[in-house]
Each structure stands twice: as structure tokens, then as C-alpha cells.
Structure 1
Amino acid sequence: MKNIYKILIAFIGVLAVSCNADDVDNRPVIEAGTAPVLLTPKSDFSIVLTGDTGNDIATTVTWNKATYTGTQTIVNYTIEIAKAGTNFASPATVSNTTALSKEVTVAELNSAVLNGGFTPYQENDVDIRVKSVVGATGLPQYSNSFTIKVTPYAAWDNWGMIGSATPNGWNDPDTDLNYDLATKKYSYVGPLVVGEIKFRLNDDWTTNYGDDGNDKKLDAGGANIPVPVAGNYTVIVDIANKEYTITENK
């Protein structure tokens, strides 16, 4: 009886392997065919983006269909941009779709350009292309690219630093703080002299922060923040959480 069971188990195992092999052999194979072809916008496209037109259509990106051989499945398309001449080493995504065109709003294009590391209020050369994949990530194909010109606007508040310790003293203009999209914080790296500083919005005193307790907490209209030693500093300002740090760079 035991031998019969052993033979039966062995037979089932062989049958299972055989069926799996047949499944593999008969499984439909999908292979890349032709890449999408980007049609618009072309290299003569240029636009200056402004915040008050965020819902307007900046451009319509259109392309020809990518093809894949084998059993057809959904093809997803991603509109990508990158700094001109970088061969899309660090692309930023504009939008995803299964269609063959996409109306891109001013706000969408501006966000993608900023995420791509482009400079606000300056004309930038931007490479644009379309990537196709089968399903979520399979068999990527890339279209041709065009180089367009885009002038983005800053999608964050304009905070600056002013005071006797800053390069411009108490005089206008403020020393601008740089904004980090990833951390949502503002920063300054550079020289400070012995003196005081405050942070203010839009080069104006209407909204300004100091520190009443010298506890690294920002207070609206608070006391001037002392800088007791001259040197090269990194200043980090977290407006959302009303905190800041001032660290001397050794």
C-alpha cells in the first residue's frame, strides 16, 4: 500500500511539472514594437508661466501610439521633462495617461519644471519626451524629444532675511532665502557679521518674524535675533512649524 501511495505522489508531481512547463510554453509573449512619436510641443514652443493663470492650458502634448507585439494590454504613457542636454538623467514627470494627448495646465507644467530643478523667473531650456510602458512598468519605450523654453514662477512665498548681520544690513532688498521643495524649508548659506537678523515676507514689514525668547522659535513681530560671532553660516527656516536654526560652518 505504501508503495502505491509513493507511486501516486510521484505521478502527481510529474503531472504538475508537465502542466507548468506547458503553461510557460503557451504563455503569450509581449515584446516592444515601435516607440511613441512626440508631435507637439515642438522646439519652437516658448511660454512664460504666471500664477494667476494656473488653470489655463499651457500646452497640449500629443504623440503617436506606441506598439507592442503579442497579446495586447493597456499601454500607459508618461510625459517627462529634463534639463536640456542631460539625456534625461533625472527626468521629472508632467503627467500620466492612457490617451494619445494631454492638455497640461499652467500649474501642472510649472510644478513639473520646479520639481525638475529649473530656476523660477528665468527662461529655461527644457527637454520633453513621452515614455510608454505595458501595464505599470513593463517594456519601456521612449519617444523622440524636443527642447522647449519655459519660464516658471515660484510656487512658494518669498521669504528673506534682513538685519545688521546680513550682507545688505537693514537696507532693502532683503537677502533672499532659498526654498527646498523636498523639505518645505527655507535656507541661506553664506557670511554673517556680528549683529542681528529678522525674517520677513515679500521684502515688507507687514509679516515678519523674530525670536522673543532666543529659543529658536519664531514669533510674529518678535525681537531681533542676535548673531554674536562673524562667520560663514547655514540658516534654516521652517515657516510652517515656526522654527529656525543658525549654524556656523566650520
Structure 2
Amino acid sequence: MKVLSKFIWAALLLPFIWSCGEIAPPPIISQTTSSVLSTSPIVLIEEDAEESIVFEVSPADFGVSTGVTYFIQMDSPGNNFASPVDLGSNTSTTVLVTVSEINRRAITKGILPGETGNMEFRVRAVPDRSLSAILGQASVISVTTYSDAVALRNLFLVGEATAPGWNPDNNNPPLFRDPENTDLYVYTGFFNAGGFKVLERIGQWQPQFGTNDGTTIAVNEGGGSDPDVFSIPTAGIYTFTMDLEAGTFSIEPYTGTAPTDFATVGIIGDATPGSWDASTAMTKSTFDGNIWSITATLTAAQMKFRANDAWTVNWGANTPISGQGVQEGPNIPIEEAGTYKIWFNSLDGRYIFLQ
């Protein structure tokens, strides 16, 4: 009886199996990438540094209705966009990028100042819906740069995790720019739990840097959408690093030597108001006791940082404008007289001079 029942059930199921036939595969949604419409040579002129180059791009089609943000990306020829930089973005098919931004990036990517070379451009189309971005084909465009050796970008913290809060004009501390790789920025200091962003100009919300995916840098140069925040999970000391050329960042808990609570830190040297006779006191941050600042008029000479009005602890380095001082290091050269806002980090010795 058991064997017979199996045959009966098989006979009953066969017509059902045959009626189903093969299962149809899901439909393939066709997508169309976006591309740069013009490959005419780009000739950059210093007098037009604040003007914009207009990139018209073709519309992307994701196969479904969605808003799209178009990013213009650039990289060196033959690099297969291994380390592209986002020049600018917009939610329309017209993307504006300043002459100074293209010039700076092209020089960083290998075109010598004042010379002509090729760069590859493409469009990264990012949908508003939870779909993957699509990348357009590379377009090779000739770029002629101008000499811009002193164009250095300064970046500042803003947000609930930082000292100024969400005020873009509240003595916002700068990131410390590497003296050799001017696209590399480091800030080691105390952060509250919460979010923060990075601004390029005090008092202005663009250009604004953040992240949309938690791993790469996103930027609104002024014509697109603001990025999401960088996040700090719990209050503490972290090292925040940004590499603008690579488009990457990291936030790592600080594991170095415990901070020293110095009573005072000052500047001293023949470039400073007190010469080598007396320190000129800096102001300690009430938010982070390792961050010091001062606005001072300097002469073209040399200086150092020192703690507690004594030479027991002092910091110096041989790079002007920005660098990382070390104990008993060389005198810091001041190559151009002027009034500077000077920031110093007594935890890691980094400094930067702003005008």
C-alpha cells in the first residue's frame, strides 16, 4: 500500500509540474551611462581662476524614475581611474567647476604648471534611490595649466562633534596640512560623539566636505548637494585624516603617548614680538587642551614653539607655513613677514600658519 500511494501522488503531481514549464528569468532593466559631451581642449588662465568651466553631460537612465547627481571625475591617463578626484557635481546635466580647482588638481595629477597634458574625465551618476552608481566612459581632454605653486587649500572643522558646533564662523580649528603632500590633512584631537564636516572657507558652507558612504570623501563645491557627515561614535581623542587626491579619509582612535597638560605654550624667536628673549603666549582651547592658537605679526626670520616659558619642552621643524614640530627640532622659517593666525597641536607637534 505504501508503494502504491507513492505512485498515485506522483501521477497527481506530474500534470502540475508539466503545466509550470521553465521559470522565466526576471526582466533585465536597461541602463544608460552619462558622458562628458565636449572633449575640446581646456586652457586655464590665472586671471580667470574664480570663473567656472562648464561641463555638459548626457543624462543617465537607470531604467526607473529617480533623481540623479552627476559628478565630474578626473584622473591621470592610463590610471584606469584608480584614484579619481571629484571636481564638482550637480543634480542637473550642467556641472560647473572653477578654473582654480581644475588647475590645482591637474598639477597634482602630473601636468607641470604652465604646460599642456592630457587628463581623463568621466561622469559618475549617483541616483537618489537605493541603486548603484553608474560610471561613464572615459574622455581624454587636453588641459593647459598655469603656475599656481602657492595656491594652498585650508580646511576647517564644523559640527556638533567639534569645538565650534554647527557655526561656520566660530574660530573653527583648521586641519593640519602636510608640508610635502598638500592634498593630505591630519587632525589629532578631542571630538564629541556626533557628526562633523569640513569647510574650505570660514563663514561659508561651500565648498563642504563629508561622506555619503562612510568610506570615501564627498564634496559640494557649491553647485550640488551637501554630503552627509563624518561620524564619531563616542567622545574621545581621534586622528582624522583626509587625502583629497585619493578621495579617502580615516577616523582612528588615538593610541599614542598620553597628552601633557601644559600650563602655557608660546611662540618665540626673532620672527616673533618677543624675539628670543620671551615667549608670546598662545590661547589654549577650552574644548581641547592640546590645541593652541594666536594671531601675531611676524617678521621674516625664525621661530619655535615652547611650553611653560622654558626650553625644557620646545618644538621645531624646517618647513614654513605648515609642518610637524619635534622636540629640540630646527627653527621654523618664516619666509614672508605678515600677520598670521597660528595654530599648534601640542599632542603631535603639528602647526599651520594662516593669512
TM-score calculated relative to the size of structure 1: 0.50
- In the TM superposition, residue 133 of structure 1 has moved relative to its aligned partner by 1.8
Mapped pair 1:61 → 2:55: yes
Q: Which residue of 2 aligns with 1:164?
A: none
- Paired AA for residue 131 in structure 1: R
Shift in alpha-carbon separation, 1:134–1:215, aligned structure 2, 3 A: same
Find the counterpart in structure 1 of residue 182 from structure 2.
Answer: 180
- CA shift in 2, pair 1:125/1:67, >3 Å: same
In structure 2, distance between residues paired with 1:78 and 1:30 = 26
Alpha-carbon deviations, 1:11-55, whole Å to 9, x = none?
xxxxxxxxxxxxxxxxxx995611113202x0x4131342x4321
Equivalent position of 1:239 in the other structure: 321
How big is the shift at 1:81?
0.2
Letter matched to residue 33 of structure 1: Q
Q: Which deviations, in whole Å up to 9, do the C-alpha atoms of 1:82-125 show, x marking residues without a partner?
A: 00111111100001111101232212323443565654444332
Bigger relative contact order (CA 8 A; separation at least 6):
1
Cα gap change, 1:87/1:241 in structure 2, threshold over 3 Å: closer, same or farther? Answer: closer
Q: Which residue of 2 aligns with 1:207?
A: 300
Normalized per residue, the structure richer in strand is 1
Distance 2:103 2:134 in 1: 25
Instruction: Give the CA deviation at 1:181.
Output: 2.3
Q: Quick one: distance in 2 between partners of 1:147 and 1:100? A: 19
The structure-2 alpha-carbon separation of the partners of 1:104 and 1:217, relative to structure 1 and needing over 3 Å to count, comes to same
Write the letter of the residue equivalent to 1:209. Q
Q: Which digits, 9 at most, give the CA deviation of each residue in 1:123-154, with x for residues without a partner?
A: 33211111112127732222222222332523
Matches within 5 A, 1:7-86: 31=29, 33-40=31-38, 42=39, 44-50=40-46, 52-57=47-52, 59-70=53-64, 72-86=65-79
The percentage of counterpart residues that share the same residue type is: 21
Paired residues for 1:154-193 under 5 Å? 154=149, 155-156=151-152, 178-183=180-185
CA RMSD of superposed structures (Å) = 3.8
5+ unaligned residues in a row in structure 1: which ranges?
1-28, 158-176, 185-205, 219-235
Report if aligned partners of 2:66, 2:129 keep a CA contact under 8 Å in 1: no
Offset of 1:63 from its aligned partner? 1.3
Taking a change above 3 Å as real, the CA distance of residues 208 and 127 of structure 1, as seen in their structure-2 partners, is farther
* 1-structure distance, mates of 2:28, 2:67: 12
1:38 is paired with a residue whose SS is coil
Question: Do the aligned partners of residues 46 and 137 (structure 1) sit closer, same or farther apart at CA in structure 2, a change above 3 Å counting?
Answer: farther
Count the aligned residue pairs.
159
Higher helix fraction (1 or 2): 1
TM-score for the superposition, normalised by structure 2: 0.37
Structure 2 alignment gaps of length 5 or more? 1-26, 154-178, 187-298, 306-310, 331-355
C-alpha distance in 2, partners of 1:88/1:68? 22
Q: In 2, Cα distance between the equivalents of 1:86 and 1:100? A: 26
Corresponding residue for residue 117 of structure 2 = 124
Tell me the equivalent position of 2:243. none
Q: Does 1:96 align with 2:89?
A: yes
Q: Alignment partner of 1:125: what SS?
A: strand
Distance (whole Å) between structure 1 residues aligned to residue 319 and residue 129 of structure 2: 39
- Counterparts in 2 of 1:239 and 1:108: CA distance versus 1, 3 Å: closer
